[in-house]
Amino acid sequence: MDLAALTLLVEIIDSGNLSQAARKLKMTRANVSYHLAQLEKTAGAQLVRRTTRQVEPTEVGMRLYQHGLSIRNEMRAAHETIASLSQGLLGRVGISVPSGYGQMVMGDWLIEFKRLYPGIVLDVLFENRADNLRDEVDIAIRVIPEPPASLVARSLGEVRYLACASQDYARRHGLPRTLQALRDAPLITSGVMGRQLRLAAYLDAERHEVMLEPTLISEHFPFLRQGILAGLGVGLVPDYVVRDRIIAGEVATTLDEYRLSIFGTRMYLLYMPNRHQTRAVRTCIDFLLEKARADAPDSQARQADAPQSGAR
């Protein structure tokens, strides 16, 4: 049993099916199937159970997978050490960030990171997908109620939603002072599936919920900011969208006694527990956690250094 055979088994199980493994290994599906059969013959046991759409490891297959994964990760680490000794910190980091937070907060952080580490290829996706990490994504930043148990989750702090409007709008129309009054206001927000938005509002230990119908909707948070500043209505947005305009006195907030939530109340940095992390990826994770600590508005949000319950 050689290293190539174990690597093939790792790719098959990681990919979930033979076709995807063949694409990653740049082999034909028939060739992958042949080498798997030869490996099972050498091991003297069935290593995966095949269905029409996926493969699942047997108990023996899972044990071999763990050995193969450890060997593959050690080989990658060895190659990385050799390269870094002569050329400085190199590698690739694939990172998926939310469209709003990525554009309005993390963009400056990532530019600074790239300046500090010019040898690292930084591949940044601005998206709001909530699925698990894909092959090209090493790190994902997400606003979610609870992190998936299958991923390691590091808290980047609390996400505080605001009900806010321009001072001009407030003078002309007034601000809603109750959750129900929000139903009558033209609302500016993001991510609505269908016509209605489910807004959760927490007052001490009490949870309230109200269904709303926004009139200006976009995943592009700078555009939502423009709409709020233009006096088009009441924004329901994270505080970072208008924080500077509140300080400048151009935007007023309302319903401040409530903790508002649309997608969740915490921001998480997520990564796979069993995927090899290069020095480049580890350096990027540490950099982002430190930036989040520095940006946290209060000490309660400074919990980024402790893995959450989803970590393994």
Check whether 248 has a pLDDT greater than 50: yes
Same domain, 276 and 154: yes
Q: Which residues contact 226 (CB under 8 A, 6 or more apart)?
A: none
- 5 pLDDT band, cuts 50/70/90, is confident
Using the 3D structure, point to which of 85, 106, 137 is the last residue of a domain.
85
What pLDDT is recorded for position 82? 57
What pLDDT is recorded for position 194? 58
Check whether 281 has a pLDDT greater than 90: yes
Check whether 234 has a pLDDT greater than 50: yes
For 41-62, what is each residue's pLDDT tens digit? 888 888 888 776 788 888 888 8
Same domain, 281 and 245: no
Q: Which has more confidence, 68 or 97? A: 97
Q: How many CA atoms lie within 13 A of 77 on its CB side?
A: 10
For 82-127, what is each residue's pLDDT tens digit? 555 545 678 899 999 988 899 899 999 999 999 999 999 999 999 8
Q: Could you give the percent of the chain with pLDDT greater than 70?
A: 87
Is 307 a member of any domain? no
283 lies in which domain range? 88-158+265-301
Alpha helices in 16-58, H assignment, sequence order: 18-25, 29-43
∠ CA 65-274-22, nearest 5°, is 55
- 304 pLDDT band, cuts 50/70/90, is very low
Same domain, 234 and 246: yes
Mean pLDDT of 66-78: 75
pTM, two decimals, is 0.65
What pLDDT is recorded for position 110? 96
Same domain, 48 and 187: no
What pLDDT is recorded for position 11? 84
Same domain, 129 and 194: no
* Strand duo 48-50 + 55-57: pairing: antiparallel
294 to each of 156, 160, 299, 311, how far by Cα in Å? 10, 17, 10, 23
Using the 3D structure, point to which of 45, 68, 85 is the last residue of a domain.
85
Using the 3D structure, point to which of 85, 108, 129 is the last residue of a domain.
85
What pLDDT is recorded for position 155? 92
- 305 pLDDT band, cuts 50/70/90, is very low
Token couple for 142: 């997400």
Q: Which has more confidence, 19 or 75? A: 19
Count of all residues that appear for the chain in the document: 312
Cβ contact 235:241 at 8 Å? yes
Is 311 a member of any domain? no
Same domain, 117 and 201: no
Same domain, 202 and 122: no
Is 217 a member of any domain? yes
Cβ contact 135:272 at 8 Å? no
Mean pLDDT of 187-198: 78
For 131-186, what is each residue's pLDDT tens digit? 667 778 999 999 888 888 888 999 998 889 999 999 999 999 999 999 999 999 99
Nearest to 27 by CA among 51, 50, 4: 4
Domain count, the chain: 3
**CA 8 to CA 283: how far, in whole Å?**
29
- 192 pLDDT band, cuts 50/70/90, is low
Same domain, 125 and 191: no
What pLDDT is recorded for position 130? 62
CATH number of the domain bearing residue 136: 3.40.190.10
Query: Residue 209: what residue type?
Result: E
CATH number of the domain bearing residue 78: 1.10.10.10
